[in-house]
């Protein structure tokens, strides 16, 4: 019989970003495939699991201390799955998923506490853990180049993109913000400098008067990102929505003229695939993992040339044919990425 799988549930004590989304959906898929093997360990401040996974609560600590002390010695006969970059260094019977090398490539973008923790823990964890996974060949190359993961150890398991299929769209968000169907451009992501939001804002402001507005979804955490490296204050033209619910996000994807992702250092680029899955044309940077993730289904642009983004936005607004072609290619491409496929690949690697 295969060893039990114990999921590190610390991600349930944090806001949902791409990394936490991956952990939630892999947990859901793993439980669907082999419910008899899966349990989840939760710190004191965790929210409920994404599905009815049997849960344990080792210790009363939280944060790094819970992870490194209480979780390290909990259920030692199980294989621990740490799906959000970190896990207990003292535990070898573990599989850890490291999503990118941004703390090493772009340390100035992160708060000192966050940066120190990752730079201390990740290289030691990668050497000790039995298995290391990452989400793209780009991320694996960067983790190896920075000496975080031993060469040849990490296996690539791409994210899924079908999690919004079970979500019912909430169209009220359009009326609340005065948005017209197919009448705006959309971007999703934090305001961290590597997300390159300033390029997109510059491109949007270069366009002709009366062009479709730019809608920005997402936020930034002062506990993760360096406050000294946030972009310049934003002009009033972009509509900043902050965090939105999944039903609202689905509505925005379905009603945008196009989704734009100008990030310079994306480890995977899940929002681009989410948009494709919902039939939204995608403009993406030709940087980081985005060419790998988007393949031929997106129009790829230089993240340092705002004028190119401006031209592409104007072209896609003017051409229904271009939008239809990109949307069709995107839907076909995104259909290959499912969470059950990712979970099956993970289980196969553990055997």
- Considering the entire predicted model, what is its pTM? 0.91
- Closest of 289, 284, 106 to residue 199, by C-alpha: 284
When pLDDT is averaged across residues 301-323 and rounded to a whole number, the result is 97
Element (DSSP H or E) covering residue 275: helix 270-277
Domain 164-334: what homologous superfamily? Glycogen Phosphorylase B; (3.40.50.2000)
Per-domain residue ranges for the chain?
A: 5-162+338-350, 164-334
User: Is the distance from CB of 99 to CB of 135 less than 8 angstroms?
Assistant: yes
Residue 114 clears pLDDT 70, i.e. is over it = yes
When pLDDT is averaged across residues 3-10 and rounded to a whole number, the result is 96
Residue 236 clears pLDDT 50, i.e. is over it = no
Residue 336 clears pLDDT 70, i.e. is over it = yes
Percentage of the residues of the chain whose pLDDT score is greater than 70:
94
When pLDDT is averaged across residues 22-37 and rounded to a whole number, the result is 97
Beta strands in 123-271 (DSSP E): 131-134, 154-156, 185-188, 214-217, 239-242, 258-261
Task: Lowest mean pLDDT of 109-113, 136-140, 169-173, 302-306, name the range.
Answer: 109-113
pLDDT at residue 219, as a whole number: 64
Residue 351 clears pLDDT 70, i.e. is over it = yes
- Closest of 225, 223, 201 to residue 310, by C-alpha: 201
pLDDT at residue 191, as a whole number: 75
User: Is the distance from CB of 93 to CB of 76 less than 8 angstroms?
Assistant: yes
When pLDDT is averaged across residues 105-117 and rounded to a whole number, the result is 92
Token pair for 145? 């180049």
When pLDDT is averaged across residues 231-254 and rounded to a whole number, the result is 79
User: Is the distance from CB of 163 to CB of 253 less than 8 angstroms?
Assistant: no
pLDDT at residue 211, as a whole number: 92
Residue 232 clears pLDDT 50, i.e. is over it = no
Task: Lowest mean pLDDT of 113-127, 183-197, 211-225, 296-310, name the range.
Answer: 211-225
| Same fold: 5-162+338-350 with 164-334 | yes
When pLDDT is averaged across residues 234-240 and rounded to a whole number, the result is 63
Phi then psi dihedrals of residue 72, to 5 deg: -60, -35
pLDDT at residue 237, as a whole number: 62
Local confidence band at 218 (pLDDT 50, 70, 90 cut-offs): confident
Residue 257 clears pLDDT 90, i.e. is over it = yes
Domain 5-162+338-350: what homologous superfamily? Glycogen Phosphorylase B; (3.40.50.2000)
CA–CA separation, 87 vs 120, rounded Å?
12
Local confidence band at 174 (pLDDT 50, 70, 90 cut-offs): very high
């Amino acid at each position: 019989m295969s060893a039990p799988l114990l999921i590190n549930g610390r991600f349930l004590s944090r806001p949902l970003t791409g990394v936490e989304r991956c952990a939630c959906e892999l947990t859901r898929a793993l439980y669907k495939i082999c419910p008899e093997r899966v349990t989840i360990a939760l710190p004191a401040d965790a929210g409920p699991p994404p599905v009815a996974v049997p849960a344990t609560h080792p210790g009363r600590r939280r944060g790094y201390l819970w992870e490194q002390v209480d979780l390290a010695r909990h259920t030692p006969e199980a294989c621990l799955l740490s799906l959000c970059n970190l896990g207990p260094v003292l535990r070898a019977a573990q599989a850890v998923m490291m999503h990118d090398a941004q703390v090493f490539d772009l340390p100035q973008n992160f708060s000192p506490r966050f940066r120190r923790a990752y730079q201390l823990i990740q290289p030691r964890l990668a050497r000790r853990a039995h298995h290391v996974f990452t989400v793209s060949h780009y991320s694996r190359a960067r983790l190896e180049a920075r000496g975080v993961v031993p060469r040849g150890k990490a296996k690539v398991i791409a994210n899924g993109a079908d999690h919004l299929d079970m979500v019912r769209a909430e169209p009220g968000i359009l009326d609340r913000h005065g948005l017209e169907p197919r009448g705006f451009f959309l971007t999703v992501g934090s305001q961290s400098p590597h997300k390159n939001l300033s390029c997109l804002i510059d491109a949007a402001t270069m366009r002709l008067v009366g062009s479709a507005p730019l809608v920005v979804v997402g936020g930034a955490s002062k506990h993760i990102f360096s406050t000294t490296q946030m972009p310049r204050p934003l002009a009033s033209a972009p509509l900043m929505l902050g965090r939105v619910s999944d039903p609202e996000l689905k509505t925005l994807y379905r009603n945008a003229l196009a989704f734009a992702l100008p990030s310079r250092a994306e480890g995977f680029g899940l929002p681009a695939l989410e948009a494709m899955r919902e039939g939204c044309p995608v403009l993406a940077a030709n940087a980081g993992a985005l060419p790998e993730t988007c393949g031929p289904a997106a129009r790829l642009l230089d993240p340092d040339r705002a004028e190119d983004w401006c031209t592409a936005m104007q072209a896609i607004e003017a051409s229904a044919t271009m939008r239809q072609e990109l949307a069709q290619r995107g839907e076909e491409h995104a259909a290959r990425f499912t969470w059950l496929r990712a979970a099956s690949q993970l289980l196969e690697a553990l055997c």
